[in-house]
């Protein structure tokens, strides 16, 4: 598969579906810079020309966003959206909709390996 900034919703379904399965079938949204993308829930593609406010924000800014949309189908539900960057260009954005109301994010933080939370004495920082 060749993912580009102009891949269509139909073309990105395999990647989005793989991510959907990796996160235990939490809803997934994904779109590219030039075309609307996919919205997947419960193993089914619901849309292939989808966009959302946080996806668009991440495409524009190129930064991870962890927030709660104020409109759209996921209004009031926390989302985590990440940019896919290639050659310093944001080509797509992928979002996980945390329908667990934050429990998913909390579990991910709580289950970090202890050595990831140990201070790095050479830098005086925590990781």
- CATH fold, domain 9-116, is Beta-Lactamase (3.30.450)
Give pLDDT tens digits for 32-85.
999 999 999 999 999 999 999 999 999 999 999 999 999 999 998 999 999 999
Q: What percent of the chain has pLDDT over 90?
A: 70
Query: What's the pTM value of the predicted model, to 2 decimals?
Result: 0.80
Name the token pair of 98: 């945390």
All residues at 6 or more sequence positions from 62 whose CB lies less than 8 Å from its CB, including other chains: 83, 85, 90
Give the integer Cα–Cα distance in Å for 108 and 100.
12
DSSP bridge partners of 41: 44
């Amino acid at each position: 598969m060749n993912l580009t900034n102009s891949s269509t919703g139909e073309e990105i379904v395999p990647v989005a579906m793989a991510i959907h399965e990796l996160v235990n079938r939490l809803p997934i949204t994904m779109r590219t810079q030039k075309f609307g993308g996919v919205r997947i829930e419960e193993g089914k593609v619901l849309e292939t020309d989808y966009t959302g406010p946080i996806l668009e924000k991440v495409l524009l800014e190129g930064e991870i966003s962890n927030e709660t949309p104020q409109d759209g189908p996921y209004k009031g539900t926390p989302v985590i959206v990440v940019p896919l960057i290639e050659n310093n260009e944001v080509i797509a954005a992928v979002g996980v909709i945390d329908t667990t109301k934050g429990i998913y994010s909390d579990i991910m933080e709580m289950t970090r390996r202890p050595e990831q939370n140990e201070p790095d004495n050479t830098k005086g920082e925590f990781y």
